[in-house]
Amino acid sequence: MTKINTSLSSSRRKSRKAHFSAPSSVRRVIMSAPLNKELREKHNVRSIPIRKDDEVVITRGTNKGREGKVTSVYRLKYVIHVERVAREKSNGQSVPLGIAPSKVMITKLKLDKDRENILERISKGREAKAKRKEKESS
């Protein structure tokens, strides 16, 4: 049996290299976070790349349940920083905790023209896929 997509490798070594040496544009897509139920119903989109002023709730880890606004998206480290989620250093200084974007849920989107276009494009694709499935089944 031959591979369907020859440009994709299933090698652990190559996958890890691709992940950790990915350019910023690819990291943006990797750093996507799921939307909550209301937003999912409204926009017909399951997840979207996270950005600075989105409001999120943490769903995993010791900070589970904490809510806040995303203060920074640290693409180099594949983490986001959420306001009021910080740790005290031994000298009393406060340091933001890095949280993996897949472990948060977006509760409020910062919408601008570009973001609305992205949501519209994704939902159109989903609707087209649903129509194709309906056509095939009947």
pLDDT, one tens digit per residue, over 79-118 is 999 999 999 999 999 999 999 999 999 999 999 999 999 9
What pTM, to 2 d.p., does this model score?
0.88
Segment 13-31 shows an average pLDDT of 96
Whether the CB-CB separation of 123 and 41 falls below 8 Å is answered with no
> Mean pLDDT lowest for which of 31-35, 70-74, 132-136?
132-136
Predicted pLDDT of residue 23: 97
Q: Where residue 9 falls among pLDDT bands split at 50, 70, 90? A: confident
Predicted pLDDT of residue 57: 98
Distances (CA, A) of 64 to 61, 104, 120, 135: 5, 9, 31, 43
Q: Spell out the SS3 assignment of the chain.
A: CCCCCCCCCCCHHHHHHHHHCCCHHHHHHHCEEEECHHHHHHHCCCEEECCCCCEEEECCCCCCCCEEEEEEEEHHHCEEEEEEEEEECCCCCEEEEEECHHHEEEEECCCCHHHHHHHHHHHHHHHHHHHHHHHHHC
